[in-house]
Amino acid sequence: MSLDVLFNQFMSGIARGALLFLVASGLSLTFGVLRVLNFSHGSLYMLGAFLCYSIWAHLLLPALGFYLATILSALIMGAAGLLIELFLLRRLYNRGWPEQLLATYALILIITDLVKWRWGGEFLSIPRPKPFTGAIFLFDFPFPAYNLFVIGLGAALAVFLWWLVYRTRLGDIIRAAAHDREMVSALGIPIPWLFTWIFVLGSVIAGLSGAVAAPFGSVALGMDIEIIVECFAVVVIGGMGSLPGTLLGAFVVGQVYSFGIMYKPELALAFIFMVMAIVLIIRPWGIFGRPER
């Protein structure tokens, strides 16, 4: 196998990993702070993609339409996240896992029917936006420019989240709250509002990643479940609630899948979950995670 072929397969894996990181980072962030496993994160991602399509189709701006639609759908999903947190999640923090699971699973069903009612069952498609329509040549081999855009966006989001969590006062509070929320609360910091805004941020990330995924493939019902299963693999491998862990998990899942496809396509998906199972056996809390107290 020549080197350029391997490099190409590696880059395909990086692109897949970047998209997974975009989605999984929001999931991991909300889990890390709120300690709620938001099953409906994938549905917010799907809704972001459908919103992006509708806004894009409505705007009819060839050059800027997609970017504007992306920003708007991320913001709308943020607003939706605000409502979900205030009216649903807030009431569930003190309940057990089963209730949280049921409530967020109910959201999946509600959002699926909402999408079916508003957009129908068609698959929709947004063309790739300028200037990312064509290919860029890396070592004489073409690489889709839009994939580079997704990789760039994933890197930018990683840097932003790192800065937010490790370099700001808000980040100090987030980390402290993730560690011991009673202590932070005792210091006079309004935990409920912190939770609300973290969930809004997670929802914005979900909407953003859905919008960015829209020109990548097709926008269709079922894209929520398709992504959330792999995102769980990412956060379980990397460690629930850990930012570097999510980055590593996304990289690992992307590469395992990409090279799995090359050498043993029938087992490519199974490989991902084998890696996940091995991590669970050796480090049940994930590579960068910390054990539950």
Q: Which is nearer to another protein, 146 or 232 (CB)?
A: 146
CA pair distance 48, 288, nearest whole angstrom: 29
Q: Which is nearer to another protein, 2 or 94 (CB)?
A: 2
Minimum Å gap between C-beta 278 and another protein is: 21
Q: Which is nearer to another protein, 96 or 265 (CB)?
A: 265
Q: Which is nearer to another protein, 96 or 120 (CB)?
A: 120
Tell me how many degrees the CA angle 163-204-206 measures, rounded to the nearest 5. 105
Q: Tell me whether the omega of the peptide bond preceding residue 98 falls within 30 degrees of 0, making it cis.
A: no
| Residue at 253: amino acid letter | V
Torsion of CA 88, 90, 92, 95, to 10 degrees: -170
Tokens of 257: 């899948």
CA pair distance 48, 78, nearest whole angstrom: 10
Minimum Å gap between C-beta 143 and another protein is: 8
CA pair distance 279, 289, nearest whole angstrom: 11
Residues 53 and 214: beta-carbon distance below 8 Å: yes
CA pair distance 211, 203, nearest whole angstrom: 12
Minimum Å gap between C-beta 130 and another protein is: 13
CA pair distance 248, 85, nearest whole angstrom: 29
Q: In 182-209, which positions are buried (b, 16+ CB within 10 angstroms) versus exposed (e)?
A: eebeeeeeebeebbbbbbbbbbbbbbbb
Coil vs helix vs strand at 141: strand
Angle between the N-to-C axes of helices 41-59 and 3-34, in degrees from 0 to 180, rounded to the nearest 10:
110
Q: Which is nearer to another protein, 145 or 280 (CB)?
A: 145
Q: Which is nearer to another protein, 82 or 225 (CB)?
A: 225
Q: What is the binding site for another protein (CB under 8 A)?
A: 1, 5, 8-9, 11-13, 15-16, 19, 116, 120-125, 127-128, 133-135, 142-147, 213, 215-218, 220-223, 225-227, 257-258, 261-262, 265-266, 268-269
Coil vs helix vs strand at 124: strand
Q: Which is nearer to another protein, 146 or 195 (CB)?
A: 146
Minimum Å gap between C-beta 138 and another protein is: 12
| Residue at 179: amino acid letter | H
Q: Which is nearer to another protein, 217 or 244 (CB)?
A: 217
Minimum Å gap between C-beta 15 and another protein is: 6
Minimum Å gap between C-beta 258 and another protein is: 4
